[in-house]
Structure 1
Amino acid sequence: MIVFQLQNYCPVGLFETLSVKLDKYFICRKDWQYGIMAVSEVGKNKILVQLEPKQRSEEILISVRTQSKKLKQAWEVMVQIINTTKELLQQWPGVLYCVRVVCPHCLKQGEKNPHRFSGAVLDKAPRGTVVCPKTMEEIDPRLIHPEISPAQWQQRRKRALEESGKSPAPEEIMMMEKQPRYSEPELEPENTVRNNTSVHTTHVSKDCLAQNNADTENVWERFRSMSIEMQPGDEGNRLAAHLMESGLTLRPDVPRDGNCLFHAVSDQLVRTGSQPTSHSQLRQDVVTYLRQHPYNGQGDHLCKFVPDKDWEDYLQEMSQNGVWGDHIVLQAFASMLDRDIRIVSSIDADNYTTILTPMGNQQDTTGPPLLLGHYAENHYASLDVCQRCAVLLVSDEYGTSKGGISTINQQLALLLRRFGAVVYCTVLWATTEDQEEARKDGVHLISPFVRPGDKRKPSLDWLTYDHHIRFPNLPEDVGYIVGHSGITDKAAEDIKNSRYPQAKLFTFNHTIPEDTEHYKGGQKTLKAWEKEMEILKVAAAADAVFSVGKRIYDHFKTMYKGDKNPKKHHLFLPKPSETFENTHVKPGGEQKVVLFIGRVKNVERLKGHDLAALAIGKAAEEIAKYNTSIRMRVRGISEDDFETSQRILEDNLQSGRLKPTLIPYGTQKEISDDMKTAHLVLMPSRAEPFGLVGLEALAAGIPVLISSQSGLADLINDLIQTGKCDADLRHRIVETSVNVSDLDKDACKWADKIVDTLRRNDEEFKKAARFKQQLQDSKYWEESHQIFLQACGITNTS
Structure 2
Amino acid sequence: MPQEVPSSSHSILLLCNTWSAITEGISAVNQSVALTLSRYKGIQVYSTVFHALTDLNPTDRSLADENRISLVSLDPGRGSERQFYERFNESPAEFFADAQKSIPHVTHIVGHSPITAKAALVLRRQLYPDSGVILFYHVIPRDVEWLADSLRYPVPTDDEQVRLGEQADVVYSVTEKTHWYYAAKFRNRCQTEVDHRLFLPQCSPPVFDVRRSNVKNDAYDVVTLTHGSDACAAWSGVDIAGCGVNKVAMETAKYKGSAKPPTLRVGGTHNDVTQIRNHVKQFISELVLDVANYRSPKELYGDLDRRTLCIVPSRSEPYGYMGLQALSAGIPTLISEDSCLASVVKRLTSEPEVFLGRDCGSDDRVIGIPPPPFHPLMYIIEPDKPVKVPVTPSTESVRQDGSVWRDRILGVMQNYQTADDNAKQLQMALKRDEMTKETHDNFVSYVLGGIRLKHELTGLRFQYRKDEEKEVPVTESFNNFLSAVMKQCWRYKHHPLTTESDLYPIIAGVDLPIKDLVSKVTNKIEGQNRRIVGVDNASGAFIVYCPTTDALSDLWAMCDVINRSLSATLLSGEENSILEHFKLESVTTRTIISGPEFLEYKNQLTKNMIDDDQLA
Partner SS state of residue 422, structure 1: strand
Partner SS state of residue 602, structure 1: helix
Corresponding residue for residue 738 of structure 1: 369
- Deviation (angstroms), 1:576: 2.0
- Deviation (angstroms), 1:754: 0.9
Partner SS state of residue 97, structure 2: helix
The answer on whether the counterparts of 1:545 and 1:566 sit within 8 Å (CA) in structure 2 is no
Distance (Å, rounded) in 2 between the aligned partners of 1:571 and 1:661? 37
Distance (Å, rounded) in 1 between the aligned partners of 2:263 and 2:296? 22
Q: 1:750 and 2:402 equivalent?
A: no
Partner SS state of residue 780, structure 1: helix
Q: 1:578 and 2:233 equivalent?
A: no
Q: 1:496 and 2:124 equivalent?
A: yes
Task: Write the letter of the residue equivalent to 2:282.
Answer: D
Distance (Å, rounded) in 1 between the aligned partners of 2:234 and 2:70? 38
Q: 1:404 is matched with which residue: 9, 25, 41?
A: 25
Distance (Å, rounded) in 1 between the aligned partners of 2:300 and 2:445? 32
Q: 1:765 and 2:420 equivalent?
A: yes
Bigger relative contact order (CA 8 A; separation at least 6): 2
The answer on whether the counterparts of 2:16 and 2:111 sit within 8 Å (CA) in structure 1 is yes
Q: 1:440 and 2:66 equivalent?
A: yes
Corresponding residue for residue 114 of structure 1: none
Q: Mapping of 1:71-90 within 5 angstroms?
A: none
Distance (Å, rounded) in 2 between the aligned partners of 1:718 and 1:690? 20
Task: Write the letter of the residue equivalent to 1:759.
Answer: Q
Corresponding residue for residue 705 of structure 1: 334
Partner SS state of residue 47, structure 2: strand
Corresponding residue for residue 388 of structure 1: 9
Q: Mapping of 1:28-39 within 5 angstroms?
A: none
Distance (Å, rounded) in 1 between the aligned partners of 2:75 and 2:320? 35
Q: 1:487 and 2:487 equivalent?
A: no
- Deviation (angstroms), 1:628: 5.4
Corresponding residue for residue 596 of structure 1: 224
Corresponding residue for residue 220 of structure 1: none
Partner SS state of residue 399, structure 1: coil
The answer on whether the counterparts of 2:11 and 2:45 sit within 8 Å (CA) in structure 1 is yes
Partner SS state of residue 652, structure 1: coil
CA pair 583-441 structure 1, distance change in 2 beyond 3 A: farther
Distance (Å, rounded) in 2 between the aligned partners of 1:477 and 1:568? 24
The CA deviation string for residues 142-197 of structure 1, in whole angstroms up to 9 with x for no partner, is xxxxxxxxxxxxxxxxxxxxxxxxxxxxxxxxxxxxxxxxxxxxxxxxxxxxxxxx
Task: Write the letter of the residue equivalent to 1:492.
Answer: A
The answer on whether the counterparts of 1:737 and 1:746 sit within 8 Å (CA) in structure 2 is no
Corresponding residue for residue 196 of structure 2: 569
CA pair 497-504 structure 1, distance change in 2 beyond 3 A: same
Q: 1:787 is matched with which residue: 434, 438, 442?
A: 442
Distance (Å, rounded) in 2 between the aligned partners of 1:426 and 1:550? 27
CA pair 716-565 structure 1, distance change in 2 beyond 3 A: farther
The answer on whether the counterparts of 1:449 and 1:470 sit within 8 Å (CA) in structure 2 is no
Corresponding residue for residue 108 of structure 1: none
CA pair 679-515 structure 1, distance change in 2 beyond 3 A: same
Distance (Å, rounded) in 2 between the aligned partners of 1:629 and 1:746? 21
Q: 1:426 is matched with which residue: 45, 48, 53?
A: 48
Distance (Å, rounded) in 2 between the aligned partners of 1:644 and 1:387? 46
Distance (Å, rounded) in 2 between the aligned partners of 1:612 and 1:694? 13
Q: 1:622 and 2:358 equivalent?
A: no
The CA deviation string for residues 534-578 of structure 1, in whole angstroms up to 9 with x for no partner, is 322322210000000111011111111213666311011112222
- Deviation (angstroms), 1:737: 4.6
Q: Mapping of 1:58-457 within 5 angstroms?
A: 388-420=9-41, 421-429=43-51, 430=53, 431=56, 432-448=58-74
Partner SS state of residue 351, structure 2: helix
CA pair 629-606 structure 1, distance change in 2 beyond 3 A: same
Q: 1:674 is matched with which residue: 288, 299, 303?
A: 303
Moved more, 758-767 or 673-682: 758-767
The answer on whether the counterparts of 2:247 and 2:403 sit within 8 Å (CA) in structure 1 is yes
Partner SS state of residue 190, structure 2: coil
Task: Write the letter of the residue equivalent to 1:473.
Answer: K
Corresponding residue for residue 276 of structure 2: 645
The answer on whether the counterparts of 1:635 and 1:666 sit within 8 Å (CA) in structure 2 is no
Q: 1:531 and 2:157 equivalent?
A: yes
Corresponding residue for residue 31 of structure 1: none
CA pair 630-571 structure 1, distance change in 2 beyond 3 A: same
The CA deviation string for residues 562-600 of structure 1, in whole angstroms up to 9 with x for no partner, is 136663110111122222112111432654311111146
The alignment covers a number of residue pairs equal to 400
CA pair 386-581 structure 1, distance change in 2 beyond 3 A: farther
Task: Write the letter of the residue equivalent to 2:333.
Answer: V
CA pair 668-709 structure 1, distance change in 2 beyond 3 A: farther
- Deviation (angstroms), 1:739: 6.4
Corresponding residue for residue 509 of structure 2: none
Distance (Å, rounded) in 2 between the aligned partners of 1:544 and 1:551? 18
Q: 1:510 and 2:138 equivalent?
A: yes
Distance (Å, rounded) in 2 between the aligned partners of 1:605 and 1:478? 38
Distance (Å, rounded) in 2 between the aligned partners of 1:397 and 1:540? 27
- Deviation (angstroms), 1:470: 5.2
Moved more, 681-690 or 483-492: 681-690
- Could you tell me the percent identity over the aligned residues? 25
Distance (Å, rounded) in 2 between the aligned partners of 1:739 and 1:399? 27
The CA deviation string for residues 34-57 of structure 1, in whole angstroms up to 9 with x for no partner, is xxxxxxxxxxxxxxxxxxxxxxxx
Distance (Å, rounded) in 2 between the aligned partners of 1:537 and 1:439? 36
The answer on whether the counterparts of 2:334 and 2:356 sit within 8 Å (CA) in structure 1 is yes
Distance (Å, rounded) in 2 between the aligned partners of 1:683 and 1:737? 10
- Per the normalisation by structure 1, the TM-score is 0.47
Q: 2:268 is matched with which residue: 627, 630, 636?
A: 636
Corresponding residue for residue 429 of structure 2: 774
Corresponding residue for residue 686 of structure 1: 315
Runs of 4+ in 1 over 6 A off after TM superposition: 454-458
Corresponding residue for residue 471 of structure 2: none
Partner SS state of residue 750, structure 1: helix
Partner SS state of residue 335, structure 2: strand
CA pair 737-696 structure 1, distance change in 2 beyond 3 A: closer
CA pair 739-435 structure 1, distance change in 2 beyond 3 A: closer
The answer on whether the counterparts of 2:22 and 2:300 sit within 8 Å (CA) in structure 1 is no
Partner SS state of residue 403, structure 1: coil
Corresponding residue for residue 184 of structure 2: 558
Corresponding residue for residue 300 of structure 1: none
CA pair 553-542 structure 1, distance change in 2 beyond 3 A: same
CA pair 534-764 structure 1, distance change in 2 beyond 3 A: same
The answer on whether the counterparts of 2:220 and 2:263 sit within 8 Å (CA) in structure 1 is yes
Distance (Å, rounded) in 2 between the aligned partners of 1:544 and 1:456? 33
Task: Write the letter of the residue equivalent to 2:322.
Answer: V
Distance (Å, rounded) in 2 between the aligned partners of 1:712 and 1:755? 22
- Deviation (angstroms), 1:642: 3.5
Moved more, 556-565 or 612-621: 556-565
Corresponding residue for residue 168 of structure 1: none
- Per the normalisation by structure 2, the TM-score is 0.60
The CA deviation string for residues 373-394 of structure 1, in whole angstroms up to 9 with x for no partner, is xxxxxxxxxxxx9963121111
Q: 1:609 and 2:238 equivalent?
A: yes
CA pair 676-489 structure 1, distance change in 2 beyond 3 A: same
Moved more, 463-472 or 394-403: 463-472
Task: Write the letter of the residue equivalent to 1:427.
Answer: V
Distance (Å, rounded) in 2 between the aligned partners of 1:483 and 1:612? 33
